[in-house]
Amino acid sequence: MIPRYSRPEMTEIWSPETRFRIWFEIEAYACDALAELGVIPKDAAKTIWEKGGAATFDVERIDEIERVTKHDVIAFLTHLAEFVGPDSRFVHQGMTSSDVLDTCLSVQLARASDILIADVDRMLAALKTRALEHKFTPTIGRSHGIHAEPTTFGLKLAGYYVEFERARERLVAARKEIATCAISGAVGTFANIDMAVEAHVAEKLGLTVEPVSTQVIPRDRHAMFFATLGVVASSCERLAIEIRHLQRTEVLEAEEFFSEGQKGSSAMPHKRNPVLTENVTGLARMVRSYALPAMENVALWHERDISHSSVERMIGPDATVTLDFALNRLAGVVEKLLIYPERMQSNLDRLGGLVHSQRVLLALTQKGASREDSYRLVQRNAMPVWRGEGDFLTLLKADAEVSALLSDAELEEAFDLGYHFKAVDAVFARVFGES
Amino acid sequence: MIPRYSRPEMTEIWSPETRFRIWFEIEAYACDALAELGVIPKDAAKTIWEKGGAATFDVERIDEIERVTKHDVIAFLTHLAEFVGPDSRFVHQGMTSSDVLDTCLSVQLARASDILIADVDRMLAALKTRALEHKFTPTIGRSHGIHAEPTTFGLKLAGYYVEFERARERLVAARKEIATCAISGAVGTFANIDMAVEAHVAEKLGLTVEPVSTQVIPRDRHAMFFATLGVVASSCERLAIEIRHLQRTEVLEAEEFFSEGQKGSSAMPHKRNPVLTENVTGLARMVRSYALPAMENVALWHERDISHSSVERMIGPDATVTLDFALNRLAGVVEKLLIYPERMQSNLDRLGGLVHSQRVLLALTQKGASREDSYRLVQRNAMPVWRGEGDFLTLLKADAEVSALLSDAELEEAFDLGYHFKAVDAVFARVFGES
Amino acid sequence: MIPRYSRPEMTEIWSPETRFRIWFEIEAYACDALAELGVIPKDAAKTIWEKGGAATFDVERIDEIERVTKHDVIAFLTHLAEFVGPDSRFVHQGMTSSDVLDTCLSVQLARASDILIADVDRMLAALKTRALEHKFTPTIGRSHGIHAEPTTFGLKLAGYYVEFERARERLVAARKEIATCAISGAVGTFANIDMAVEAHVAEKLGLTVEPVSTQVIPRDRHAMFFATLGVVASSCERLAIEIRHLQRTEVLEAEEFFSEGQKGSSAMPHKRNPVLTENVTGLARMVRSYALPAMENVALWHERDISHSSVERMIGPDATVTLDFALNRLAGVVEKLLIYPERMQSNLDRLGGLVHSQRVLLALTQKGASREDSYRLVQRNAMPVWRGEGDFLTLLKADAEVSALLSDAELEEAFDLGYHFKAVDAVFARVFGES
Amino acid sequence: MIPRYSRPEMTEIWSPETRFRIWFEIEAYACDALAELGVIPKDAAKTIWEKGGAATFDVERIDEIERVTKHDVIAFLTHLAEFVGPDSRFVHQGMTSSDVLDTCLSVQLARASDILIADVDRMLAALKTRALEHKFTPTIGRSHGIHAEPTTFGLKLAGYYVEFERARERLVAARKEIATCAISGAVGTFANIDMAVEAHVAEKLGLTVEPVSTQVIPRDRHAMFFATLGVVASSCERLAIEIRHLQRTEVLEAEEFFSEGQKGSSAMPHKRNPVLTENVTGLARMVRSYALPAMENVALWHERDISHSSVERMIGPDATVTLDFALNRLAGVVEKLLIYPERMQSNLDRLGGLVHSQRVLLALTQKGASREDSYRLVQRNAMPVWRGEGDFLTLLKADAEVSALLSDAELEEAFDLGYHFKAVDAVFARVFGES
C-alpha cells in the first residue's frame, strides 16, 4: 500500500484511528452485554460509552505505551483508562486480545468489501453505458490475435459486464466469509465470558457469530477472502490488457482518455501510451500474489500461533487498497474511453473481405458444390487478396465458376455483417435484461 | 497427477475415453436441437445417437488421426464418422471446437466437484463421529505451541468440522461457477448456430447457459474454481499439521493408525511416523500452487488465445485428483485416528497446575486482594512449580496468605476443568444442531 | 507432465527404470567404498556390480513388493537380492533410505539440468543466427505498444540472446545447487557409516559432498533450483509474447512457420494462429508456479519430515519436462520464424514519419529556435499527418518557417534511419564478441 | 513495508530523498561524460555538481511539480534547475527517463543487497558461536517429529550455518544480477547518446553495463533477484520453525530470550511464547510471495511497457525491508537463544533408551544372531519399555537370551552417545574449516 496507488476512503479503514475506534466499540458493546448479564455495573457501561465515545485516541501515546508493554491491546486499554477513569477496570473482562483484534479485522474487511462492491458497481455502470452505446458498432473478433469473425464492440463490453457481475457476487460471498465475530476467550471455550456477549457484539457490529473459534477466527475464511480478491484482480487485468491491445499503434480502435494538457501530446500525436491500463496490469499481479500467504496462513498451530498476524498487517491494507485503486482507475478508463468506430471498421475491412471466406465456403456447399470444389474456388480468390491484389468480393463476382453458383446478391449476402449481429439483441437481453 | 496419489473414480473423469464420450454427448444433443429446429434431418440425429452411442471410441485411432490433422476435435469427428456413416456430415454444424472443448471441461469439472463434495462429506462424517466421541475428553489448548487453558478434544474436532462445512459450501459455489455451457461459435455471436442449441445441450448436461462466451467460456470462472480448491487444500493442511503435532514423541496425544503388519513397528515401538499427514501437507502445497496459473489464465487476448489450454490440461487433472486423494487420505486418518485421552490428561497435568494460574489470580482479586498482591501470591507459588519443586494446588493451599483469602474448596474450584467445559454443549449445538 | 508436452530424453530421467538404475549405482559404489574400508568383503562388492549391473529391474515386481512392505527402497533391495543372491546382505549397510533417495534426486536433477542447458544452447544458436541475419533490418521500436523510435530486428533478437545467456548461467548455478550427495545416516551423524563412503559415491556420480545433511539434503537447494526454472520459463514467456504480438493481423511482422500441409491454410490465408508461442506462454505459467511449493518445502521439521516428497514426485518431472519442452518448442519457432522485413518497413512508415518528430524538434533547437517555437512548428505539421493528411517530411519541407531554419538535406537527415543504427555494431560486439 | 517490520538503514534506501540523490548522481556523472565528449561545456558539468551537490531536494516541491507535469523525472529536473540555474539545460541530454529510473533502481537494489549480505553475516556469526558452544551438547535427532537417533545441538546449528552460507552466496549472485546500468535512450539504440556515457556512469556507480537494454533493463534480472530473496526467506522460516518446535511446552529445549520486564512472565512462567520466530514465519510467507509478480513482470511488451513499475514500487521496498527485518530479528533470537541442555538430555532419555534399539539389533546380528532372532529379542524388551514398564538397557541386561550374546559392557556400548558423535569434529571441520 503506497500513497500513489491508494484512495482515501479505503486507506482510512486501515488507519490506527479507525482501528482504535473499532476496538473501543467492541469493548463498549461487550460491556453493555456484561452489564446486562450483571457481571459489571450498568453505570460503568454507560460511563465507558460516554467517556470513551467522546475521546480522541492519541496514536502517539498508545505507541509509546506499547513500546513499554510490548502489547498493543494493553496499550490501548491503558490509554482508554486515561479517559474513562476507574470504571475502565470493567472493560475487557473475561476477554482475550484476539477477541478484539480478530473481530476488528472482520469489521475492517467487511467495510473494505463494501467499498470494493461499490467499485464494481461503478465499473458495471460504466461497462453498461458503453456497451449500450456500441451495441451495434461493428468490430473484428480476434482469436489468437488474428482476425476471426465480426462481432460488435458492445458485445465485447457486455462480456466484461457479466464478468464483473460475477466479480460482484464473489465479493458479496467473500464479505460473508469474513464478517464474523469471536469473543470466546483464550482457547475458545467461553470459560471466562458468557456466549451472550459475543452474540450482542456481533449483532451490533453487523457480524455473524463464529461457530467455533480457538482464540482466533479460523483463517480459511481470510484465505477465501484474499483468494477472491486475486480472482477479481485477474478480471481487471483481462479488461486492462484488452484496452492495451486496442490502443496499439497498429490497432488503435480505442484509447485511454488523454487530457489536452498532458505533456507532449501534439508534437508526437501518436505517442499516447495506455499507462493507466498498464498500471492496472501490474497492480493485478500484486493483488493476485497476496492470495498465497493468505492460504499459507490457514494452518496455524493448534489453537493458534501468531504467524498470520504479520502477513495480515501487510496484505489487509495492501490487497484491499490496491484492488480498490485498480477498480476505480479501470472504471475511469472505461467511462472516458475514446472509442473509434471508423478505425474498427477499417480494421475489419483490412483483409479485403477474407474474414467472410468461411461463409462463402458454406454458401457454395449449400448450392451443391462439393467441399473440395468449394474449397478450391475460395482458395483461388483468397490468395490474391492475401497478396494485396484485390478485394475478395470483387474477385469472387468476377470468377465465372463462382458466379455460376452464387449470384452477386447471394455473394453480397455472404459479406453482410448483419448475419453476425442477429443474436446481439438476445445476448444483450441475457446480460442486461429484456428492454 | 501421478498414480501414487490418485483415486480411480476421479482419474476416470480425465481419461480420453470419458472425454470422447462427453464430446459425443455434446455433439449428439446439439444434433437433437438442430433437428428440432429443422436444420438437420431428425433421422440423422437419431442415427447419430444410435451408432455413436453404441460405439467404443478408439483412443489410439483418434491420436493417429490427430497426428495428421493436428486438431483434436476434427480427429474425433473423423473417427465418429467411421461409426456413424454418411449422417456424420450433420454433426458439429455451425459449431466451433471450443464449443465442444469448453463445455466438456465444464462437465468434467462439475463431476470432479461432485466427487470432492462427497469427499468432504466423508470427512465431515468422520470428524463428527470423533468429535462426539471425545466431546468431553480434556486436553490442553495451546497457543503459540505453549500450554494455555484446557479445552476438550471434541471441541478441537468440532472446529475442524465447521471448517470443512465451509469447505463444502465453497465447493458447491465453485461447482456452480464452472457448470456452464457455451455453444456460440467462432467469436460468440451465434452467427452460425441458433441459441436454442446451446440451451438444449446445457439442459441435458445439467449446466447453465454461459451469458456471454467469446469462443471460450471466460476463465475467471476457472480461476475461482481452482482458487477454491487451494483454500480447501489449505484446510486439509491445517488438520494434517494438527495431527502431526499431536503425534510428536513428546506430545503423543494421537497417532495415525498403524496396522500390525507395518514394518518395524515393535522393535522401535516409538517410531511410528505420521507419514500420511505429512504427505497431505505436501499435497496441499501442490493444490494451492495451481491457483496461480489459473488466475494468470484469465487475461486471454481479445476473444481468446489458447495459452490457457496447456495449463488446464495439467491442472484440471492435477488439482482435482490431488485434492480428492488428500481429502480421502485425511478422512481415513481421522476415521482411524488413535486417540490417547490418558496422555492428553498427563500433558494437561504436566505443568503441575500452572495452567490454572489465571483463574487463581482472578479468584484472589474477587476476594478483594489488590491486583499487585494477587500477582505476587500467584507468582511466588508458581515459580517453584515451574522449577519442578511441587504442585501448584498443594503449594497454594500451604501458603498462609493465600489460604487467608481462599479456602481449600475455593482453590480446588479454581482447578476444576468443568469450569472450562461449561459451554461445550452450547458450542456443539451451534455446530451439530440441538440434540 | 503429460505426454503432449514431453520430450523423451527428459521423461526418461524420471522413469522407474532410470531411478532404479541410479539407486543401484549408489548402492554399488557405496559397497566399493565399504569394501575398501574393510567393512564388507571385496568379493561381495564385485558380485554386486556384476549381477546387479547385468540385471534388468522389474518395475512391476518392485511395485508388488512395495505394496506389501510399504517402503520403496526396501522393495528395491528385496528385488535386487533376487539377482545378487546372498551377497546382497552387504548392500545398504549403515545407510538410510534417504541416502539413496536424495542422492538419486540429485543425479536426476543434475541430468535434467544438462538437458536444459543444452536446450538453452539450441535457443542461443537460433537467436544468434536470426539476429545476425537481421542485424540491420529496420523495424519500429515500441514502448507501451506504441511506436517509439526505429531499431533493428537483429537488435531485438540480440536482447533475447543475452537474456538466454543469463538463463544459461542461472541453470549452471542451479545445477551446482542440487548436485550434491549425502550418505550420512538416520540424522546425518555418520554414526553407522564412514564419511569416506559418501565421498566415494559423490566422486563417482559427479556430485559434491553435502556439508551437513540431516537424513535429507537441505531443501533450500531444491527451492533455488525450481525458482531458477521459474525465471527461465518467464524469459521464454517474454519471447513467446513478443512473437505473438508480431503475428497479430494488424502487425504481421513475423509468423510461426506454418507448413503447407497444415489444415485450412489457403482458404483463410490470414488465419495462421501463433499457437506454439501461445502454448509456451501457458507452459511458462506452470513452470513458474512450481517455484512456490518448492520454497514451502524448505521448512521441514527438525531433521526431516516427508512432506517434501509428494511435492517433488510431482514437480521434479513436471518442472523439468515442461521447461524442456517449452524451450525446444520455442527454439524451433525461432529457427523457422517467418520474418517479414517489408512489413516491418511499412509499419515503420505507417505514421508518415511522425516517429522522427523528436529529432526534428532537436534539429530546430540546435539551429537556434526556442523550445516553444520548435514545438509549435513540429506540432502544426504533425497534426495533419496524424489526421492522415500528408507525409511529415513533405509538410515540413513545405513549411516556410521550418525551411528557414532547416534545409531539405538537413530535414532528410533527421529522417535518416542510419542515425538510429550507428551503435548496432557496438552492441552486437558486446553481445556476440568483436567480429 | 510497514514501520513495525522495518529497520531504518534499509528503509532509508527507499526514501524519496535517497532516490533523488541517486537520480542527481546519475545525471551529474552523465554530464561529466558528455562534457568529456564535448557535447556539453565542462563548466556546465562542474556547476551541476557544485550546485546540485549542495542542494537539498524538496520532496514536497517535486511532488507539487509532478502533480502538474504528471512525470516524475521531469518534475525532478525542473526542481534541480531551481538550484543549478541556466546550466541545467545541459542535464539529461539525449537521455530517457528510464535511463535514470532503472539505473537508480539498480543502485537501490545493490545497496539493499549489501545490507542483506551483512544481515546474513550477523546470522552466520551467531550460528557459529552457538554451534561451537554446543558442539557436543547431546540432543535427540527427530525425523517426522519422532525421536530417531542422537545428534548434537551444535550439529543442528552447523546445518543452519551452511544453509545461510548458501544464502549469502545466493545474495551475492542476486546482487550481481541487478547491479547494471543502462543509459541507452528511447528504445536502447544509443541514437541520441554516446555509449561512453553509460560506461562512465556505470563505473562511477559501481555497476556493470547492461549489454542490451530496450529503454528498460530486462526484468529477468529483477525476477531472479526477488526469487532469490524468497529462497533466503524460506531458510529463515526453517530456522524459525525449528525454534518454535524447540520451545513447545512439551519439548522446551530452547526458548527465545524473554527479558525480565516482559509482562506476565512469572505468574504464568510457562507462558513464554515464541512470538519472534512466529513473526519471522509470517514475514517469510510475504517475502516468498513477492517472487511471483516479479516473475510475471519479465514479459513486458516489445521494448517495454510500464506494468512492472507499480509492482516494483511495492515489492522493491517490501521485499528488501521485510527480509532485512526478518534476518535481523532471527539473528537476534539465535544470539540470545536460551538453550537448555538438561532438558535436551531428559528428552533424549524420555523413551527409556529405545532410540538405541537399532544399535542393539545390529550388535546382536554381529554376534551371529539371525535377523529374525535379533528382532524378536529387541522387540520383547522394547515393548515393556514403551508401555512405561522399565528401562531398555536394564531389561536387556536381564534378558538371558540377550546376555548370552552381549555382555553388559557390550550392551552399554550400544547405548553410548559417543558412537553418534564421532564424526562431529569432521563435520565441523567441513563447515567451519579445520581448527
pLDDT tens digits, residue range A46-64?
999 999 999 999 999 999 9
Whichever domain contains A180, its CATH number is 1.20.200.10
Q: What pLDDT, on the 0 to 100 scale, is given for residue B368?
A: 87
Q: What pLDDT, on the 0 to 100 scale, is given for residue A265?
A: 47
Query: In this structure, what are the phi and psi dihedrals at residue B348, rounded to the nearest 5 degrees?
Result: -60, -35
Q: Are strands C180-181 and C208-209 parallel, antiparallel or unpaired?
A: parallel
Question: Which residue of C164, C224, C304 to mutate against D (max D Cβ within 10 Å)?
Answer: C224
Q: Which of A245-249, B46-50, C386-390 has the lowest average pLDDT?
A: C386-390
Residue in A155, A190, A245 closest to B301 by CB: A245
pLDDT tens for each residue of A278-322: 999 999 999 999 999 999 999 999 999 999 999 999 999 999 999
8 Å CB contact of B142 and A242: no
CA distance B148 to D252: 15
Question: Chain D contacts of B299, Cβ < 8 Å?
Answer: none
Does residue D13 fall inside a structural domain?
A: yes
Considering the domain architecture, whether residues B172 and B235 belong to the same structural domain is answered as: yes
Considering the domain architecture, whether residues C229 and C342 belong to the same structural domain is answered as: yes
pLDDT band for position B435 (50/70/90)?
low
8 Å CB contact of C267 and A350: no
Amino acid at D30: A
Q: Give the contacts of C389 (CB within 8 A, at least 6 positions apart).
A: none
Q: What pLDDT, on the 0 to 100 scale, is given for residue A313?
A: 97
CA distance B357 to B379: 9
Does residue D419 fall inside a structural domain?
A: no
Name the closest residue on chain D to residue C289, using Cα atoms.
Answer: D292
Q: Give the contacts of B376 (CB within 8 A, at least 6 positions apart).
A: none
C403 in active site: no
pLDDT tens for each residue of C203-225: 999 999 999 999 999 999 999 99
Does residue C424 fall inside a structural domain?
A: no
Asked if C115 and D276 touch (Cβ cutoff 8 Å), the reply is: no
8 Å CB contact of A382 and C267: yes
Report helix angle C72-84 to C16-36, nearest 10.
70
Q: Which helix (H) or strand (E) holds D68?
A: helix D59-69
* C57, C90, C123 - which closes a domain: C90
* D42, D62, D90 - which closes a domain: D90
pLDDT higher than 60, residue C264: no
8 Å CB contact of C306 and D155: no
**Distance between A252 CA and the closest CA of chain C, angstroms:** 9
Does residue C118 fall inside a structural domain?
A: yes
What does the pLDDT average to over D261-275?
A: 73
CA neighbor of B157 nearest in space, from B31, B296, B335: B335
Considering the domain architecture, whether residues C145 and C269 belong to the same structural domain is answered as: yes
pLDDT band for position A385 (50/70/90)?
very high
Residue in C173, C187, C227 closest to D227 by CB: C227
CA distance B122 to B324: 11
Q: What pLDDT, on the 0 to 100 scale, is given for residue C261?
A: 55
Amino acid at B327: L
Question: Chain A contacts of B358, Cβ < 8 Å?
Answer: 186
Question: Chain A contacts of B214, Cβ < 8 Å?
Answer: 141, 151, 156, 159
8 Å CB contact of D269 and B354: yes
8 Å CB contact of A227 and B162: no
Q: Are strands C146-152 and C138-143 parallel, antiparallel or unpaired?
A: antiparallel
Asked if C335 and C133 touch (Cβ cutoff 8 Å), the reply is: no
| Higher-scoring residue by pLDDT: A207, A267 | A207
Q: What are the C-alpha distances in Å from C435 to residues C155, C163, C426?
A: 16, 21, 10
What does the pLDDT average to over B373-399?
A: 92
Residue in A144, A358, A382 closest to C273 by CB: A144
Q: Give the contacts of B306 (CB within 8 A, at least 6 positions apart).
A: A144, C273, C275, C278, C279, C282
pLDDT tens for each residue of B275-316: 999 999 999 999 999 999 999 999 999 999 999 999 999 999
Q: Is the ipTM of this complex over 0.90?
A: yes
What does the pLDDT average to over C276-298?
A: 98
pLDDT higher than 50, residue C129: yes
What does the pLDDT average to over B2-13?
A: 95
pLDDT higher than 60, residue B133: yes
pLDDT band for position A152 (50/70/90)?
very high
Considering the domain architecture, whether residues B281 and B314 belong to the same structural domain is answered as: yes
Does residue B427 fall inside a structural domain?
A: no
What does the pLDDT average to over C183-201?
A: 96
Question: Chain B contacts of C75, Cβ < 8 Å?
Answer: none
pTM value is 0.97
Measured over the CA atoms of residue A365, residue A370, residue A373 and residue A375, the dihedral's sign is positive
Cell of B58: 478408439
CA neighbor of C161 nearest in space, from C334, C288, C284: C334
Q: Which helix (H) or strand (E) holds D128?
A: helix D97-133
Does residue A425 fall inside a structural domain?
A: no
Whichever domain contains C46, its CATH number is 1.10.275.10
Q: What pLDDT, on the 0 to 100 scale, is given for residue B260?
A: 60
Considering the domain architecture, whether residues A362 and A277 belong to the same structural domain is answered as: no
Name the closest residue on chain A to residue D5, using Cα atoms.
Answer: A310
Cell of B334: 481421522
Residue in C146, C248, C379 closest to A271 by CB: C146
Q: What is the DSSP letter of A342?
A: H
The domain tally of chain D equals 3
Q: What pLDDT, on the 0 to 100 scale, is given for residue A260?
A: 60
Residue in B188, B237, B420 closest to A189 by CB: B420
pLDDT higher than 90, residue A213: yes
Amino acid at C223: A
Name the closest residue on chain D to residue C429, using Cα atoms.
Answer: D211
Cell of C39: 567393512
Distance of CA A159 to the CA centre of its chain: 15
Considering the domain architecture, whether residues B186 and B52 belong to the same structural domain is answered as: no
Q: What are the C-alpha distances in Å from C322 to residues A178, B188, C240, D268?
A: 38, 32, 15, 55
Neighbours of chain C (3+ CB pairs under 8 A): A, B, D
Asked if C330 and C239 touch (Cβ cutoff 8 Å), the reply is: yes
Asked if A330 and A163 touch (Cβ cutoff 8 Å), the reply is: no
Q: What pLDDT, on the 0 to 100 scale, is given for residue D265?
A: 47
Q: What pLDDT, on the 0 to 100 scale, is given for residue D19?
A: 97
Considering the domain architecture, whether residues C245 and C125 belong to the same structural domain is answered as: yes
Q: What pLDDT, on the 0 to 100 scale, is given for residue B308?
A: 98
pLDDT higher than 60, residue D304: yes
Considering the domain architecture, whether residues B192 and B287 belong to the same structural domain is answered as: yes
Neighbours of chain D (3+ CB pairs under 8 A): A, B, C
**Bridge partners for C98 per DSSP:** none
Q: Are strands D254-255 and A146-152 parallel, antiparallel or unpaired?
A: unpaired
Letter string b/e over residues A179-208, b meaning 16 or more CB atoms within 10 A of that residue's CB = bbbbbbbbbbbbbbbbbebbebbbebbebe
Considering the domain architecture, whether residues C185 and C329 belong to the same structural domain is answered as: yes
Whichever domain contains D378, its CATH number is 1.10.40.30
Q: Quick one: chain C helix, strand, coil %, rounded to 5?
A: 70, 5, 25
Considering the domain architecture, whether residues A39 and A144 belong to the same structural domain is answered as: no
pLDDT tens for each residue of A395-424: 999 999 999 999 999 999 999 999 999 999
Domain containing A364 equals 354-414
Question: Which residue of B292, B305, B318 to mutate against C (max C Cβ within 10 Å)?
Answer: B305
What does the pLDDT average to over B106-112?
A: 98
8 Å CB contact of C275 and B306: yes
Does residue A327 fall inside a structural domain?
A: yes
Q: What pLDDT, on the 0 to 100 scale, is given for residue D269?
A: 77
Report helix angle A220-247 to B220-247, nearest 10.
150
Looking at chain B, the number of H-run helices and the number of E-run strands are 21, 6
pLDDT higher than 50, residue C9: yes
Looking at chain A, the number of H-run helices and the number of E-run strands are 21, 6
Q: What pLDDT, on the 0 to 100 scale, is given for residue D349?
A: 95
Asked if A113 and A171 touch (Cβ cutoff 8 Å), the reply is: yes
pLDDT higher than 80, residue C267: no
* B90, B121, B139 - which closes a domain: B90
Q: What are the C-alpha distances in Å from D190 to residues A102, C396, D31, D179?
A: 56, 26, 16, 20
Does residue A107 fall inside a structural domain?
A: yes
Torsion (CA) B359, B362, B366, B370 in degrees, nearest 10 = 140
pLDDT higher than 70, residue A261: no
> ∠ CA(B228), CA(B234), CA(B236), 5° rounding?
110
CA neighbor of A143 nearest in space, from D309, B188, C212, B201: B188
pLDDT higher than 60, residue B97: yes
pLDDT band for position B269 (50/70/90)?
confident
Q: What pLDDT, on the 0 to 100 scale, is given for residue C393?
A: 96
Considering the domain architecture, whether residues C198 and C249 belong to the same structural domain is answered as: yes
Q: Which helix (H) or strand (E) holds A141?
A: strand A138-143
**Number of Cβ within a 10 Å radius of residue A306:** 22
Considering the domain architecture, whether residues A214 and A288 belong to the same structural domain is answered as: yes
